[in-house]
Amino acid sequence: MVGAVWPSSPALAGMMIRAARVRSAEFVLEIGPGSGAFTGPILKNLRSEARFLAVEKCPALAKTVSKKFPGACVVAGCATELTAHLKGLGNPDSIVSGLPWAAFDDSLQNTLLEEITSSISADGIFATFAYFGPHRMKAGRAFRKKLDRHFREVGRTPVVLANLPPAFVYFCRR
């Protein structure tokens, strides 16, 4: 259920935190926390009054992340149902994704991006990462085009070489 080639490095986590503007966010949503490589850094950088919710599809991983970070609100559920998970909580202004986009078919990618864009606040930031190299292949280029279709602004950080494999972060505004 973990889609990462290797656990994400602290350097990549730091880049995600900066790109997603976690430090200034009022409500951070993490989708696909997996084993929690981004969860810990998010929680360390979260303002004291900010809210945090993680949505993890695999119940065993959700339980692991909950035990590893007892102060975190972790829900076992699918990101294709973000609207339901966020009911009554409002719209996050920062969404951090550790989802393995390359493992998903076209339809699932579109469904997830639609859920993300309908859930994020009007001025919110969505951040996700891609491995450097594969992003130039057909599937990687197609995913970038999807981001461009779903968001008015799509940026990219420098490559994080201190990650195995090297990766970068896409950051997007609705």
What confidence score (pLDDT) does residue 3 get? 47
- C-alpha angle 23-57-119 in degrees, rounded to nearest 5: 50
Based on the structure, what is the number of domains in the chain? 1
Residue 55 lies in a domain: yes
CATH of the domain at 55: 3.40.50.150
Per-residue pLDDT at 1 exceeds 70 = no
User: What does pTM read for this prediction?
Assistant: 0.94
Counting runs of H as helices and runs of E as strands, what totals does the chain give?
A: 6, 7
Read off the pLDDT band of 5 (50, 70, 90). Answer: low
Give the Cα separation of 44 and 40 in Å (integer).
6
Contact 170, 127 (CB under 8 A): yes
Q: Three-state SS for 29?
A: strand
Read off the pLDDT band of 2 (50, 70, 90). Answer: very low
What confidence score (pLDDT) does residue 139 get? 85
Per-residue pLDDT at 136 exceeds 80 = no
Give the Cα separation of 41 and 149 in Å (integer).
30
Average pLDDT value for the chain: 94
Residue 24 lies in a domain: yes
Give the Cα separation of 70 and 172 in Å (integer).
30
Give the Cα separation of 83 and 38 in Å (integer).
22
Residue 5 lies in a domain: no
Residue 3 lies in a domain: no
Give the Cα separation of 37 and 54 in Å (integer).
12
Helical H runs in 8-137?
Answer: 10-19, 39-45, 59-68, 82-85, 106-119
94-97 and 27-31 as β-strands: parallel, antiparallel, unpaired? parallel
Q: Could you list the residue range(s) of the whole structural domain that residue 54 is in?
A: 10-173
Per-residue pLDDT at 134 exceeds 70 = no
* Percentage of the chain modeled with pLDDT above 70: 96
Read off the pLDDT band of 54 (50, 70, 90). Answer: very high
